[in-house]
Structure 1
Amino acid sequence: MLIKEVESFIEEDLGYDDVSCTIVPDRPAEAVIFTKEDCTVAGIKEAGSIFCYLGIQAETTLKDGDRLKEGEIIFRLNGGAVSILRAERLALNFLGHLSGIATLTRACVDTVRKYSETTRVACTRKTTPGIRKFEKLAVASGGGDTHRFNLSDSVMIKDNHIKLMGIEAAIEAAKKTSFTRKIEVEVESSENAVLAAKLGADIIMLDNMQPNTIQETLKILEGKGLRDSVIVEASGGISRENLENYAKAGVDVISMGSLIHRSRWIDMSLEIVNLDI
């Protein structure tokens, strides 16, 4: 985490006159952070950056992606009591939120692995403004794929692009951007999937297609000798509840905005365990 980011987060949480933490005598203290439920942990580095900035010695043997059981200690902290209290909520917010994303992602990856060893589970750009990189890295910690971080990473031609300029013109324009960028085309029919593949798309996103329609589209692409030339991604309305059906469909990537926007925070806590160290 960049220093300017840490300072921004701390400024937001402390405000202009911290009347909550400063009433406490600033004496040496020891604390622990632990999880109150099973999870895949994420946010270790982010929390560590906060502790470091506030002069707190933080010890941990864990790394993002480790699976924890209820009650396991994540950090042991030594520092001034005021600093520990100031770091508490901010660190727990990052750990709880990012671990929730990593935990849901891990569960989804485990579901897909029952049917495919190669299909990637990816997130989308449906993220919280300002903390996208942290949320996407939490997906990676859970074994998922971060997809593109922003609009500059690759060219994605979506339905509105096609409405504005047509699929042929859109792909032709995309090819002129840079030879290093892959071109992904969102389609809603088997016909457009075939057309996009013929026009040279690198990735075809089958948007809001049911699993049986996806399987039919894959068969059509294979029958025309186009299946091996493209990466096929399924997206739209996919959640943990219906993921199994998509995992059986045979696509290369399953992208799920729900990895982030439907994740549940993991319950974690910080407790003072000793004073006057």
Structure 2
Amino acid sequence: MSSQYAKLLPPHYKEDIKNWLAQDAPSFDYGGYVVGDTPEVAVLYGKSPGVLAGVPFFDEVFNQLGCRVEWLISEGESFEPVKPCARVTGKACDILLGERTALNILARCSGIATRANKCVALKKQHGYNGIIAGTRKITPGFRLVEKYGMLVGGVDTHRMDLSSMIMLKDNHIWSQGSITKAVQRARAVGGFSLKIEVECQSKLDATEAIEAGADIVMLDNMKGDVLSEAATNLKKNWSSTRKFLIEASGGITEDNITEYFSPGL
């Protein structure tokens, strides 16, 4: 059963998996010797409620080991425990060699997709029309897996890396002395094809960022009525002259995300 997002993955993800397998078996595989090469079938069970994500990574682990995976549910599908999700056929030693690496990847990816999906459900429940996006605060080396999980879970992946968009945070602005100077310097090298996002601590900061030509204004660590009022006023004041997005960020979790479902965002 194929994944609708598999074609998005860059070729090097296969090399990543090759390296992860090598890390788990740097020399002798003593357990593999014990079980031998008898043909076996392993069943993958979903043992807690969730959303399945990470199918291409799981498939590639066992593909590299000469095993075959048969999926019993689709990627992105929600399930309740205990749910048979897949069967893996191959030599016992090969199945066990890939088992932990494959499960680690799938569990991490599915966990992220599950949390993302819960946020999307809250958005629909409250009739919010804005975009919920992920973060670049990912586990080093696991970027593709974690961003992929966001995508399957239904949220925007935001920027993939430092090269995907220019985000000017407080330290970037401090180094240049002002938001305006930082935006001008960024635009000089980013050109017209890269969006510029500016982290703003106040409505005054946001106004300067818009005047300087920022494409996205991040209202950082603003909450409640303060956030809603700032976002609404900025759109009202600039809607006829400038096009920009407003983003809320800082301390947003599954438990408090509904507080950010503002008409101004």
In structure 2, the residue matched to 1:242 is: 256
- Cα 1:201–1:73 shift into 2, 3 Å: same
From 67, 71, 91, the equivalent of 1:80 is: 91
Instruction: Show structure 2 runs of 5+ residues with no match.
Output: 1-11
CA gap 1:15/1:150 in 2 versus in 1, 3 angstroms? same
1:33–1:167 distance in 2 versus 1, CA, 3 Å: same
**What is the aligned-residue RMSD (CA, Å)?**
1.6
* Residue matched to 1:212: 225
Distance (Å, rounded) in 2 between the aligned partners of 1:117 and 1:246: 10
Match of 1:171 among 176, 183, 186: 183
Task: Return the letter of the residue paired with 1:133.
Answer: L
Q: Does residue 63 of structure 2 align to residue 52 of structure 1?
A: yes
Instruction: Using the TM superposition, name which of 105-114 and 200-209 deviates more.
Output: 105-114
Q: Which moved more, 1:161-170 or 1:110-119?
A: 110-119
For structure 1, the residue ranges without an aligned partner over 5 or more in a row are 253-277
Tell me which of the two structures has the higher relative contact order, counting C-alpha pairs closer than 8 angstroms and 6 or more residues apart: 1
For the Cα contact (< 8 Å) 1:34–1:71, is it kept in 2? Answer: yes
Q: Deviations over 1:210-236 (max 9, x none)?
A: 121111112321332348721110000
Tell me which residue corresponds to 1:38: 49
Letter in 1 for 2:154: G
**Structure 2 letter corresponding to 1:234:** A
Query: Once superposed, which parts of structure 1, at least 4 consecutive aligned residues long, lie more than 4 Å away?
Result: none
Match of 1:202 in 2: 215
Number of the residue aligned with 2:30: 19
Q: Secondary structure at the match of 1:21?
A: helix
Query: Tell me, what secondary structure is at the counterpart of 1:122?
Result: coil
Q: Equivalents in 2 of 1:10, 1:96: separation in Å? A: 16
Equivalent residue number for residue 262 of structure 1 = none
Choose which of 221, 224, 231 in structure 1 pairs with 2:237.
224
* 1:181 and 2:182 matched: no
TM-score normalized with structure 2 length: 0.90
Instruction: Tell me if 1:137 matches 2:151.
Output: no
* 79-88 or 1-10, larger mean C-alpha shift: 1-10
* Cα distance change of structure 1 residues 226 and 139 upon mapping to structure 2, 3 Å threshold: same
Tell me how far apart the structure 2 counterparts of residues 13 and 229 of structure 1 sit (CA, whole Å): 50
Alpha-carbon distance in 2 for matches of 1:125, 1:133: 11
Q: Once the 2 structures are TM-superposed, how far is the Cα of residue 174 of structure 1 from its aligned partner?
A: 1.8
Distance 1:3 1:245, change over 3 A: closer
Match of 2:247 among 233, 250, 257: 233
SS in 2 for 1:112: helix
Which amino acid letter does the alignment assign opposite residue 30 of structure 1? V
Map 1:63-78; keep pairs closer than 5 Å. Answer: 63-78=74-89
Name the counterpart of 1:98. 109
Counterpart CA distance in 2 for 1:2 and 1:210 is: 38
Contact 1:58–1:76 (Cα < 8 Å) also in 2? yes
Kindly provide the CA deviation profile for residues 159-216 of structure 1, in whole angstroms up to 9, marking residues without a partner as x: 1111111101111112222210001010010111122112211100010111211111
Contact 1:56 1:84 in 2 (8 A): yes
- Measured after TM superposition, the shift of residue 77 of structure 1 is 1.5
Shift of 1:34: 1.1
- Matched-pair identity in %: 35
State the AA in 1 paired with 2:180.
Answer: E
Q: Note the C-alpha offset of 1:39.
A: 0.5
Q: How many residues align?
A: 251
TM-score, length-scaled by structure 1: 0.86
Aligned residues of 2:206 and 2:219 also touching (Cα < 8 A)? yes
CA drift at 1:61: 4.6
Instruction: Find the aligned partners of 1:100 and 1:204 in 2 and give their Cα distance.
Output: 30
Q: Which deviates the most, 61-70 or 32-41?
A: 61-70
* Structure with greater proportional helix content: 2
> Which deviations, in whole Å up to 9, do the C-alpha atoms of 1:61-102 show, x marking residues without a partner?
544311112122221111101111111111111111111000
Aligned equivalent of 1:266: none
